[in-house]
Structure 1
Amino acid sequence: MTAIEQTEARPRGTRLPRRARRNQLLGAAQEVFVAQGYHAAAMDDIAERAGVSKPVLYQHFPGKLDLYLALLDQHCEALVQSVRAALASTSDNKHRVAATMEAYFAYVEDEGGAFRLVFESDLTNEPAVRDRVDKVSLDCAEAVSEVISEDTDLPPDQAMLLAVGLCGMAQITARYWLSAGQKVPRDTATRLISSLSWRGIAGFPMHG
């Protein structure tokens, strides 16, 4: 049984440990926010999707923005951790580039659509949301720039600029690939973008 089916099957009022209830509410909220956007989503919809009463929902999240920010924190951290894991997965820089591109493509392809909350939010005029969206991009770039700085003779500011470019390429191409209907198989798409990225970054001198 999938998580969605479990949510649908859970009778209203079933008692859960607090952490499990919070995760259940976040899962229901994600489905509603992804489908409807922040502005069109209602706490009533989320409570109904989770199979709980509104008072139960408000016990965990005082308002809709609090719920949205909790989801953003969760999924921004997931992307950063995925990029860091990709970089740590090998000491071969060509493979590091490929693993990082794969991390972005896998992130946008996730069936829950969490990337839409991060990169396609309809609430970017809200400072708390904008700060989180900017921070996840910078955190991913900083992780990449650390590797570039360690392995090349480039100063930190230049390494960061290159890292922002690499991560921006990964994010934009992955989102385009998904919106275009995934006409190119994912492994082929990541190989193409990895090759493009590697041919660029490989031109910078290594230490020594």
Structure 2
Amino acid sequence: MFGSRGYHAAAMDEIAERAGVSKPVLYQHFPGKLDLYRALVQGAADDMVRTVRAAIRSTTDNKARVQATIQAYFDVVSSRDGAMRLVFETDTRATPEVAGVVDRATSDCIDAVTEAVTTDAGLEPERARLLAVGLVGLSTTSARYWLDAGLQPPREDAITLMSQLAWRGIGGFPRQD
């Protein structure tokens, strides 16, 4: 309900009905709509961080790692359950509780990329972090645009295009073994 209608338009009655529970049962688990929403955003944000970290750990070949990480963002935004729309397109972003969850997830992804760049390129942490911010921004923005543009170009083409763009930049920092 939140993913398709947004926070403000979704009613607890409808949410309970769609979940197959009574409204009192829903309120037993979540004191209010914002608590439920925050829990859903937290779950989606945690999934995003896990997916990105797994992609980074999936290989030691940095070109393949860039592609795997960008693919992770495309996987995340195109998840069938629509949970990632809660992270990327929330209409309660101004709510400190939700903004904090989203900001922490983004920061955790940046931290994971920073660690890989610091280790592999031998850059000092502040330079590696700036590169990581750029790579995460490229990945999230392009994946969201692709989703909003009706999944065009085809998924694999979009991932290849963005991976080539990112690799041409980050590939200029040779691996330090």
Q: What TM-score range do you get, normalising by the shorter chain?
A: over 0.9
- Which letter does structure 1 place at the counterpart of 2:80? E
1:169 corresponds to which of 138, 141, 144: 138
Q: Which residue of 1 aligns with 2:176?
A: 207
- Which letter does structure 2 place at the counterpart of 1:45? E
- The 1-side partners of 2:148 and 2:9 are apart by 22
- The 2-side partners of 1:56 and 1:126 are apart by 25
Q: Which residue of 2 aligns with 1:135?
A: 104
What CA deviation, in whole Å up to 9, does each residue of 1:1-54 have, x standing for no partner? Answer: xxxxxxxxxxxxxxxxxxxxxxxxxxxxxxx10111101111111111122211
- The 2-side partners of 1:207 and 1:101 are apart by 22
Q: Which residue of 2 aligns with 1:188?
A: 157
Q: Which residue of 2 aligns with 1:108?
A: 77
CA-based RMSD: 1.0
- The 2-side partners of 1:151 and 1:99 are apart by 16
Asked whether 1:74 is paired with 2:43, we answer yes
What CA deviation, in whole Å up to 9, does each residue of 1:127-181 have, x standing for no partner? Answer: 0111111111111011011010001131101101100100110000011111111
Cα deviation for residue 113 of structure 1 reads 1.4
Aligned residues, how many?
Answer: 177
- Which letter does structure 2 place at the counterpart of 1:62? P
Q: Which runs of 4+ in 1 moved over 3 A?
A: none
- The 2-side partners of 1:50 and 1:154 are apart by 49
Larger Rg belongs to: 1
2:166 corresponds to which of 179, 184, 197: 197
- Which letter does structure 2 place at the counterpart of 1:148? V
Q: Which residue of 2 aligns with 1:14?
A: none
Asked whether 1:44 is paired with 2:13, we answer yes
TM-score of the aligned structures, taking structure 2 as reference length? 0.97
TM-score of the aligned structures, taking structure 1 as reference length? 0.83
